[in-house]
Chains A and B, each alone.
Chain A
Amino acid sequence: MSAADAHAGRRLGRAQRLRLWEHAVYAPIWRPLAAWIGLVLIVLTYIPLVWLVVMSFSDRPLSGIPHPLTLRWYDELFATSAWIEPMTDSLWLALAVGVCCVLISVPVGRAIPRLRRRGGVLLITLLPLFVPGLTMGAALFLFIRSYMHFKLGMWSVFVGHMVWALPFAFLLVIVLATRFDHRLLEAAEDLGASAWQRFWQIEFPIMRPGIVGAGLFGFILSFNELLRSIFLRGTETTMPIYTWAQASSHQSNVPIIFGLASLIFGVTLPIIGTFFWILFSRTDRGR
C-alpha cells in the first residue's frame, strides 16, 4: 500500500466513497443496470467462442445444432496439411514480432517519460493504435509496393505487424516507466551500482510485467493479425489469412476451421487469461 493510498484512506473510507458514487449516479437503477449491461455483452462475446468449440464436434456444424456429435472434422483436419505451413509461418512471425517488441519497446519506452516535451513523441509513437488496420495496410502497401517497388513477402507482413503491435508494447512499458520512482536509481548510483546493475537489479524486476506483456502482446497480436497482412502478404499466407479465406468462401472447408480455431483458442486463451488476471489483480492490490 503506497503512501498516497494511506492518505486517501484517511480522508474517506471505502464504504463512504462507494456511497458517494451510488448517491451521485442513482444507485437503485445504476448498479443493477450497469452490471446487467456488462454481463449481456460479455455473454455475447463468449457465446461465439463456446459455440465454435461445440460446433467443431457437431456432425452438421453449419446448422448450429450440436447433434449428433463427431470427431470427423478433427480427423479431416489432421488428414490435410494445407494449414500446417501457414501455422508454422505465423508462429515464427509472431515469435519474431514478440521478441522485437521487447527489444525496441523497453529501451525506447523507458526513455520517453524522461523527455521534457513528450506529448508529440507519444502521439507519433501511439498513432498506429488509432489508425484502422485497413488504412495502415493500404498505406504500407502503396509505400512499399507502388512507391518503393519492393517485392512483398514475409518481411513486409513483419513490418505491418510491428507497426500494429509495438504501440501496445509501448503502452504497457510507458505506463510502468511513468510510475517508476527514479529516486531508486539515484540512490543506487550513490551507493556505487554500475549502469548495468541499476538496470538488471532494480529497473528490470519492477518493469518485468511490462516486458513480459510487451512480448506477449507482440506475439498474440501478430498471430491474429488479418487486415494488414492481407495487403502486405504478397504470395505468403499466415494463419488468419488462411482462416479468413476458408471462412469467406462458401466451401465445405468451413467445418475444418472450426476445429482449427478451437485448437488455437485452447492454446491462446489460458496464456492471455493468466497474464491479464495477474496484471489486473496486482494493479488492484496496488491501488
Chain B
Amino acid sequence: MANALVSGGVRSWYTRAASGRWTVPAFIIVWTVVVIVPLFLLLLYSFLETKGFKVVWDPSFHTWDRFFETGRWTVAMRTLRIAIGMTVIELVLAFPFALWLAKGCRSQGLKAILLTLLTIPFFLDLSSRTIIWRALLGSNGVVNTVLMELGITSEPVEWLIFTEFSVFFGLAAPYFATMVFPIFLVATLIDDEYLDASRDLGANPLQTLFLVIVPLCLPGVIAGVVFTMVPMMGEWVVPQLMGGGKVNMIGRSTEDALSTLNYPTAASLSAFVLAILVALLAALTLLTRRRGGVAGLFEALKL
C-alpha cells in the first residue's frame, strides 16, 4: 500500500517533470539565485568599504586601490606565479601522457585501470593526504633520514618542506588528473584519418604533431588549464600545510579578511581570481566556437 503510494507519487512527479516545459527554466532560476547572484554580489562588495565593522553602500575603487598597494598585491602575484608555473608544468607532463592514454595505450584494461587510479584521489580529502608529506620530507623525515644514512648529505636538507618548492611539489599530484582528463577526452575524438591524410600529404611527424594534433587538442588544453589553474588559485590546504605559513596564497588572505569582517577585501581577492577565470572561459568559448561551442563537445562525445 505505502509502496504503491510512493511509486504513484514518484510516477506523477516524474510525468509532470518530463512533460512540463518548466523543468529547465525553474532550475535555471534557482541556480541563478544560488550561483550567479552571490558571484555578482562578490564583485559588487569589492567596490564597497567597511566602516566600523559594517559594510557601507558607497561604491568606490578604494578597496582596489589598497589591494594594489598593500601586501595583498604580493600575495596575489605569488599566487599567480605558483598557479601559472604549476599549470605549465602540469601541461608539459599531462599532454604526452593524455595523448598516449587516448591513442597509444594498447591494453584496454590498463587504460581503465589508469583512468580509475587518476579519478579516485579527486574524491579523497586533501588535508590528511597532504599532512603526511611533512613526515616524509621534514628535517627528521624519511627522505632526510635515508639521505643522511647513505652519506649523501651530513645535514638534513631543509628546503624539502615549508618552502615554495614544497608547495609546488605538493600541488603536482593533486592537479595532474585535472589536466589529463580534458586533453584525453578531446584526443580520443581525433579522427585517425587526419593523421593518415597528413602523412599522405608529406608531413613529417613534427609537422603532424604541431599542425594537426596540437590544434585539434587545443580546446582540451584550454579546458585543462581552466580546471587546473583556477582551483589552484583558490588552493589553501596545500600552501598552508606544505608552506607552513611561510608561503601565503590568496586563499589564506581571503579567510583572514573574512574572519576580521573585512568583507570588501575578501571580495576583491576572490574577484581577482574570478577575473582570471572569466578570461580563460572566454578564450575557451572562442576556441570551441567553430565546433559548435561548449555544447559541441558534448555532442562529439556521442560517438
Contacts and interface: CB of A to CB of B under 8 A. Distances in A.
Contact of B270 (A139, A179, A226): A139
Contact of B125 (A46, A130, A240): A240
Contact of A268 (B124, B138, B199, B209): B124
B148 interface: no
Interface in A241-258: 243-244, 247-248, 254, 257-258
Contacts of B115: 276, 280
Q: Give the size category of A's interface with B.
A: 35 or more
A31 B97 CA distance: 9
A12 B14 CA distance: 45
B258 A143 contact: no
B254 A63 contact: no
Given A42-B117, A52-B132, A62-B135, A163 B35 contact: yes
Interface string B90-115: 00011011011101101011011111
Interface residues of B, number: 114
Contacts of A131: 39, 230, 274, 277
Nearest to A112: B24
Contacts of A264: 125
Interface string A143-163: 110110000000000010011
A240 B127 contact: yes
B141 interface: yes
A101 interface: no
A130 B277 contact: yes
B226 interface: yes
A41 B93 contact: yes
Interface string A31-69: 101110110011011111101100100000111110000
16 contacts: A11-B193, A23-B195, A63-B140, A64-B141, A65-B142, A107-B18, A111-B24, A124-B32, A130-B277, A138-B42, A138-B258, A138-B270, A142-B266, A224-B125, A227-B237, A277-B116
